[in-house]
Amino acid sequence: MNRNLYIGILLFVGIVLGIFLTWPKYQDFQQLSLELQIRQQELENKETFFADLAKVKIDIAKLKEPFLKVEAALPLDPQLPQLYDFLQTSAAFSGMSVRNIAASIENREQALLMRTIPVAFGLTGSFAAIKELVSRLNFASRVVTLQSLSISSLNQETGRFNVIIQLNTYSY
């Protein structure tokens, strides 16, 4: 009976000791297992995010042409030389001669607002040429809004007029 008692006590002590020695490692294992599940979920979320990002990149690439049209209509900088060239070319194709062009750029107070560029445009030409120029300005690729049009007679016999056009164009 002593032998069975010793075996029982040693077995009980072995089990208790085994539990106390392995329990912290088991808790660490449980914690690492939980952390692994969390990291796997984060990885899946990031993979989904990057897959969605790649899809959006492809969609944006498909819409490149409309974005280029918007960029041409509302450029990031004022591009005054291109604006002057556009106005002179439009006037020349309309049959008008340019007397002067003056533009001023407003200071940018807020970075997200559009910048308005007022332009005064002095011309000489016939009434038909004025109509053609206004039509060209309406169909310009850049956003141009006609603010005022002042016409005065230069020579009634030749049908030539002095024209002062106030217009606004925009940039970011």
Domain presence at residue 68: no
End-to-end CA distance of the chain: 97
Residues 90 and 7 reside in one and the same domain: no
| Least-confidence region, from 80-94, 109-123, 135-149 | 109-123
pLDDT at 111 over 60: no
- Do 83 and 166 reside in the same domain of the chain? yes
Asked if residue 107 has pLDDT above 70, the reply is no
Same domain, 13 and 88: no
CA angle at 127 for the pair 73 and 132, rounded to the nearest 5°: 30
Band of pLDDT at residue 108, cut at 50, 70 and 90: low
Q: At 122, give phi and psi (nearest 5°).
A: -100, 130
Q: What's the pLDDT tens digit per position in 26-67?
A: 889 999 999 999 999 999 999 999 999 999 998 888 887 777
Q: Which pTM was predicted?
A: 0.54
Residue-range definition of the domain harbouring residue 7: 2-62
Claim to verify: residue 78 and residue 107 sit in the same structural domain: yes
Which CATH number characterizes residue 79's domain?
3.30.70.60
For residues 74 and 172, the answer to whether their CB atoms sit within 8 Å is: yes
C-alpha distances (whole Å) from 41 to each of 32, 45, 49 are: 14, 6, 12
Q: Are residues 55 and 34 in the same domain?
A: yes
Instruction: Sheet with 160-171: list strands edge to edge.
Output: 97-103, 115-125, 160-171, 144-155
